Amino acid sequence: MVIMNGMEIEQPSSMSPEDIEPGRLRVFGVCHIVFGGLGLMNVAGGIAMQFLQERLWTGARSSGLDEVQEIQNEMYRDLSAYTWITIATGLIVGVLILRAGIALTKRRQSSVRLSNTYALSSIITKVVGILLFLMVAMPVIGEAVTAMLAESSAPAPAWVGGLQIFIGAIGGISFLLSMIYPLCALIMLNKPQVRQYLARHGG
């Protein structure tokens, strides 16, 4: 209590650094929820496309196909297991990041732990995903393209020789870009000021 001009004025209590809410909690919380929602929408679209593709295979077998279409369908069938693995891992990571985002926006003490679980799971699934892409998906796609060109009477274009290199490069770049966000979340949300704030004010 401080007396100024004969009036008693309440002296504001001093705030320690642990009492100041780190802005990254809100930023990552919102981003987690947005990315989680988009990821789950992508999973739903992937599931719908798989079921639609299976129905198209069934209808195509009964109506007859030319050789190129049959090669394309065989490629999709060969990639079916890989696609379902990708969908399943996307569903798991999507649920984890959404749950972590909600916890971060509510300033729960468990929010950093949940975010770390998402980030580590995301990194692991991305590493496994790029390995499966290079070892499983790329050879299947390459064989299908080669077979389709063999069925065509037109001469093979010049870019065919470097097609697998191009696909691998795109996959590698996508992998590196996709690693940025979970790594940032893992680093930024484990700063001492974040943990100290949640320890004192987390719900």
Secondary element (H or E) of residue 9: strand 7-9
The pTM for the full model equals: 0.79
Task: Kindly state the percentage of the chain with pLDDT values over 90.
Answer: 44
Query: Could you list the residue range(s) of the whole structural domain that residue 68 is in?
Result: 22-201
Cα–Cα distances in angstroms (integers) from residue 130 to residues 125, 137, 169, 171, 172, in the given order: 9, 10, 11, 7, 7
Which among 62-76, 90-104, 137-151 has the top mean pLDDT?
90-104
Is 10 within a domain? no
The residues near 121 (Cβ < 8 Å, ≥ 6 apart) are 92, 93, 96
Domain-embedded: residue 16: no
117 or 16, which is more confident: 117
- Whether 116 maps to a domain, the answer reads yes
12 located within any domain: no
Structure tokens at 35: 């990315």
Q: What is the mean pLDDT of the chain?
A: 83
* 93-146 tens-digit pLDDT: 999 999 999 999 999 989 999 999 999 999 999 999 999 998 988 888 888 877
Q: Which residues contact 132 (CB under 8 A, 6 or more apart)?
A: 82, 85, 86
What's the number of CA atoms in the CB half-sphere (13 Å) around residue 21?
Answer: 11
The reply to whether 156 falls in a domain is: yes
Top pLDDT among 55 and 134 is at: 134
Whole-number pLDDT of residue 13: 53
pLDDT of residue 57: 62
Please report whether residue 57 resides in a domain. Answer: yes
Total domain count, the chain: 1
Size of the chain, expressed as the number of residues it contains: 203
Q: Is residue 14 part of a domain?
A: no
**How far apart, in Å, are the Cα atoms of 154 and each of 74, 77, 96, 150?**
22, 26, 49, 9
Task: Give the span between the Cα atoms of 190 and 203, in whole angstroms.
Answer: 18
> How high is the pLDDT of residue 201?
75
Question: Residue 18 pLDDT more than 60?
Answer: no
pLDDT score of 140: 87
Distance, in Å, from the CA atom of 178 to the CA atom of 136, rounded to the nearest integer, reads 20
Q: Decide if 1 is inside a domain.
A: no
